[in-house]
Structure 1
Amino acid sequence: MRRLQVGFSIRYKFLAVMSLLLAACVCVYLLIAVRVFKSDKTELVFDLNRSQVSNLASELDTQFEGISDKFKLFSLLSDSALQGRTQADWVRELFPKDSDVVFVSLYRRNGQEIVRKFQNQSFGQTYGLSKDYFERTLAKAKPIPFSRILKDGQAIWNASAADGPPLVGFGRSVVIEDHAGVAIDQMAVVGYVKMDKLLKSLSLVKLNHMSVVNRDGEVLASSMAEAATENRLMGSHPLFQAAMSSKTKTSVINLTWQDEKILGAYSKSFGGKLLVLAQANEASAFVAVEQLVERSLIFSLIVMTAAFLAAILLSRSLTRPLAQLVERMNLASQGDLTTQIHLGNKDETAVLAGSFNQMIADLKQSRDALEEINRDLDQKVKDRTQQLEEQNRAVKEAQEALLRTTRLASIGEVAGRAAHEVLNPLTSLMTRLGIMERKMQKELTPQLQVLGDMHSAWDKDYQEGGFDQLVQVWKKPSEIQPQLNLWQEDLGNLQSIQQGIGGQLKTFLQDTEFLKREGTRINKIINSMRKLTVTKSDKTKQSVHHLLSECCAIMGDLFEQKKFSVLCEFTAEQDSVSIDRDEFIQSVTNMMRNSLQAMDELAKDHPEQKFQLRLMTAVVKDEIQIYIEDNGVGVPTQYQSHLFESQFTTKGPEEGTGLGLGISRRFLRANGGDIEFVSSDLGRKTVFRIRVPIVGEKEKGAAA
């Protein structure tokens, strides 16, 4: 029945108007506040970026100017300039233990011969570096740009290897002059500077992302530690391009990179050889604005909710009786005739409630009488139906008994052949069931274990601190994947389990379809065996290659279980035939099973040998020929002429009945083909051939 509906209540109309006015005021306030706050926030971010890049550029200027001067002094150390002190004393004074320079070497112009070198041993011990790390390992991973050093006079490059400490390579050219001031040689001083202090300064920056790059856009140091070790380049970044094209030393800029708005700043250092870049994502910078909007929305919702509650409390005493009446009427319209209305007042609504209760009582009495009549009628119909079913069952049982008696005469002849023909699909069916059982135990059990572990962990956290404790645990970083929290890890596990179960379901459906096909084959084999005296094939147009692939799929589990391989070489250009599909599959699988047993018998004495079954096709005249070749025990000469005789077999009673080849030949001949023994080289190669006529153009039309 149709449910009674109530329109919009009058007591809510005034509240709705007031709520709309309040919401409009809140929206106007939020629009003005967001615009003003965004403008102020942008200027603040620009000032902060400008200050940070300028300060860092000044520090780099001081640091690399000092290092450049020390490198020049290092190149000028000679016996005449030592003034009574050793070279080691001068080197220790130039590069003390706390120096940023951890390795320096003076090279000849060819870049192959080292004149002198210095290495900070304590730095190498701290990072576990080998003695030749800088000269061999690092020089190979990060080649020294000698040509650029000699050409430009100075060069700075990224020297942070993937498994090494964070370093920056610095080299400068030194011209050696004689006493007359004439240049007599040119050398290159190459050194590596540790970036610990610089990286520490960068790590303190939270609002934006800062990078130090050279003129080629190569990242030397970054607030993202992996940027330097992964050899990232910023040559295509618009902030780097703006800095390189600008004539000013320090500036700020608005730009867009990869569909994201960025507030950027840059400062040039060390004569323009170094660039300090800072970029802040506009969306991240304006998080405070979003928080202001969220809090304002929450406040407005609280006010509007309070207004609704006040209106509901004031009008509740007036509308409660009507609401109860509407509710009971809806229940009655849905068939509930046990509902009653009990009001505490004595006004007109009480009279209306009494009339409603009386009406419901009358309706309930009438419905109970009708239900009693219907129950009596249903019982009579059921009794009569049961009598008819018992009579039909007796007739059917008598017919089935008569049919079974008629068929008993032919069971003895059919039983042997049916058992042999059913053996192939039944063996495939049982093998596939075993594989399905092992897959379920191997793949489903770990997934259930993961679900159990997740449930236990969630339940433990919830029991200890409720939902809040559970949420806090979810936010903790994963021990297995530190870049994810536990909630993301659990979601990933659930997704993996979903995908795993999906894959298992797909495989299970494929296996189920395989079992259904094999069951259908068994059913058809049994039905056809009952009529072996009259062979009548259900011929349809089929692809021989497709049928052979189905045979390989059916017998594949048995061959895989024995670790034998099946090689298919389908070279026939035409493979369309008119044949009974199931009889062809039964014939080929019989042959494949014989080959499997022959190879298995030889494998007992030669387990190290590799066994293989080959299926080959070729077109000869107007028929397609299928060759079945194996390297099993073979067929002795004295048995070759008896292969197709009924009940002839060289196997034990548990493996063969002597019916397989004869039935296979009978099936193929009924379809216009034949099966032939070709040759047998004992223990090496045995070949059988199946011939089936190809469907011509006219026959194709008839078959279709």
Structure 2
Amino acid sequence: MTMTGLVVIAISGVTALSVQREQNTFHQEWKERASLLLDTLEVVARDPLYDLEADVLSQLISALAQNHPLLTSGHIYDSDGRIIADLHRQGPVYATQSSPLGQRLINSEPTVFIWQSQQLVAGRAIIAGEQRLGAVSIGLSTAPLQQKVARVRNQGIVIALIAGGLGASIAVVLSRSITTPLQALVVATRKIAQGDLNQQVPIQSHDELAVLAQSFNEMTSRLQQTLSLLQAHKDELEQRVQERTQALSEAIQHLQQTQTQLVQSEKMSSLGQLVAGVAHEINNPASFIHGNLTYASTYIQDLLDIITLYQRHYPNPPAGLQEAIDAVDLAFIQSDLPKLLQSMQVGSDRINEIVRSLRTFSRLEEGDFKPADIHDGIDSTLMILKHRLKMATGNGIQVVKHYAPLDPIDCRLGQLNQVFMNILTNAIDALQDQEAAPSSPSQQPPTIEIRTRSLSPDWIAIHIFNNGPSIDTEIHSKLFDPFFTTKSVGQGTGLGLSISYQIVTEHHRGRLYCHSKANWGTEFILELPTHHPDETMPDLAAADR
């Protein structure tokens, strides 16, 4: 059948070439005929066109049509491209608008040929000297061409049908002896290409095709064995690559986590040193002020007592002294000066309180476990965050503390301060986001509640609750994963809670939980041993939670 198709294609190609040759010959012949008609029409129409004798021009083009039956259209144009004579209209034509074809012909030098579906349109400008008098155009029917093309095409079709019939007969004969075995071989090859290596070509003769089939079957068997061996090696290699990739991925993640944690620890250590330095620099002059305020208050009170005693013994001072007393408003000074000293004392106490908080928070670099009051660590962290608590929302964030009487515990208070800082900062961010959300705000004022309690003689618990938006269930299990954050790029590294979890669970052998519910809030619970984690202590699971 393939040979038959080739024969048919070849005959079709020859037929197409013949049709093309006939078309080219006809085109050339029709162009020459159109040029002769244009030459005739140009000669006889030049003088009438010069004098714009429309009647004569109309008669000329009508006479031309009678002598040439293939003429389908004819026009004569004036110098502006307007039709003044038309083959299909009797008498002169006085067109008011220029014809696009007429304008094109007037502005063209050579003869213009335009092939259309039913005719060949040819035209040229009529020139007298350097003056363009107008233009003429004619249309010749292409019906003879179509008849020739149809005749050649029909001949080609007849020849192709005859050749196809002969080819099909020959193909049927050949397929019985050659094509059928080859077809079976092709079918088996395609199935093997699709992955079915169990294909075998049946051997039904003893000729060359049988030898080919035998070789094909042997090749298939060897190929099946080779592919089985390659598949085994491929599976083993993929397993090794997967194991190495997993190990490398874990190593890279651990390296990134360690590197980031080292940077974070270095930042916190630097922060601790900076805070300690600032606290020290503030404490020195503040100590002078605080220590001298007591003496200054005593001295000033003594002076006020002397003035009062003086006024009692000398109620009528000299006129000059009385004017000075009235000028400085001595009575107001006597009543306001103790209040001024009292406010200075309050400010000095406040400075001392801030310095103590800074010193407590600055214990980040301490690496040893030491007894420490956990409440001091919480209060110092709140002191550091006091400006954010005031400015986070419109009316600030309310902090409620419920401290149970707890003894100092063995811990690294600087690291726990870092945990408090991370949890409280996240709580402030959550409450601030809730306040800025376009949805209706919560009816409850933004609140952070901190509660401590004793679980047993060896364990304590710290609850840090905020009534902000709850944490989605699908991300709850990822809270303590390294680099996981719900904040936008540049606002969080995703390491705060991860480092906090590591400090609580690994460094202090404690536990860190998170509970969150819709329309309630979020609570983080720290459970810490009261003694050094290396010491033997009972499991928290046995303690009352």
TM-score (ref. length: structure 1): 0.29
TM-score (ref. length: structure 2): 0.37
Larger Rg belongs to:
2
